[in-house]
Amino acid sequence: MTRPDSKSSRSELVAKRFGARAAQYDEHALLQRESAARLAAFIGAHGGLPATGLVAEIGCGTGLLTSLLSPSAESYLATDIAPEMLARCRERLGHLPQLSFDVQDGEQICFASPPAAIVTNLTAQWFQNPVAGLCRLAVKTRRLAFAVPVSGSFPEWRQAFHDLGREPGLLPLPDAGELTSALAALPGRTGFFETATHVIRYESARAFADSFRNIGADQPRQGYRPEPIRPVLARFADGMDATAHVLYGYVR
């Protein structure tokens, strides 16, 4: 299956795939859990979120970041493209009076009035253009905080395919330098950025591949044609380290 050409059909596919895995997402979202904690700490280290006004989260999933940020917000809107994910978030945090929920495509989201802050954790890589998408979000608010995986991630998996003369089906990820330059160039804004390396150990290459499938993140890059991967699986039969490079940013 390839990434669809139209924005609407791509968004529908992303929503369907993630929604189908909502019930098991928390069990397998290891990187997402780590990055949510790091993003919350990064926000705190650079002044925190505003004490008043609306904080809007793009791609809340089951509420990993929401649970860390919403308790201290005056008003918090959790959005996700997949209704099933939003339902899980509501089950977890719906008791908080300042929290509201809405099904939204973060790449096309509009607000009646600008929120005081927008936050998003490992969501922008699903935008048709992650750099442009994050820039659009930045100009909709006075504060944007985000975490996004960047190019160079998962080198172990990529190298195994390159040694076979092939390319893996992983989605292309934004370049950290291009993204930070674009955000820093926005008029009247100051950006704080850092790239962190997360290494997660899997018992096998199959477990690594299944980690994408088990959270609904197994949509391959456009034009990818699956081929047998037995040599790749054999290389990591005794375990595999998966290295993700995640860019953390706070633009205000």
Q: Mean pLDDT for each 10-residue chunk of the chain (252 residues)?
A: 50 91 94 98 97 97 98 97 98 97 95 96 96 97 98 97 92 97 96 98 94 90 83 93 98 96
Strands 75-80 and 117-121 turn out to be unpaired
Q: In the block, which residue shows the tokens 């096998």?
A: 204
Is residue 169 domain-resident? no
Is residue 83 domain-resident? yes
* DSSP label of 222: T
Please report, for the domain that includes residue 135, its CATH number. Answer: 3.40.50.150
Q: What percent of the chain is predicted at pLDDT more than 70?
A: 97
HSE-up (13 A, CA, CB side) for residue 237: 4
Is residue 158 domain-resident? no
Instruction: Please report the pLDDT score of residue 6 as a whole number.
Output: 52
Is residue 16 domain-resident? yes
187, exposed or middle or buried, with CB in 10 Å at 0-12, 13-18, 19+?
Answer: exposed
Among the listed residues 39, 216, 194, 42, the one whose alpha carbon sits nearest the alpha carbon of residue 121: 39
Instruction: Please report the pLDDT score of residue 1 as a whole number.
Output: 28
pTM: 0.93
Instruction: Please report the pLDDT score of residue 8 as a whole number.
Output: 58
Instruction: Please report the pLDDT score of residue 225 as a whole number.
Output: 81
Number of domains in the chain: 1
Residue 60 structural domain: 7-151+174-198+244-251
Instruction: Please report the pLDDT score of residue 113 as a whole number.
Output: 94
Is residue 137 domain-resident? yes
Is residue 44 domain-resident? yes
Side chain identity, residue 47: G
Taking only the tens place, the pLDDT of each residue in 88-122 is 999 999 999 999 999 999 999 999 999 999 999 99
Is residue 85 domain-resident? yes
Is residue 237 domain-resident? no
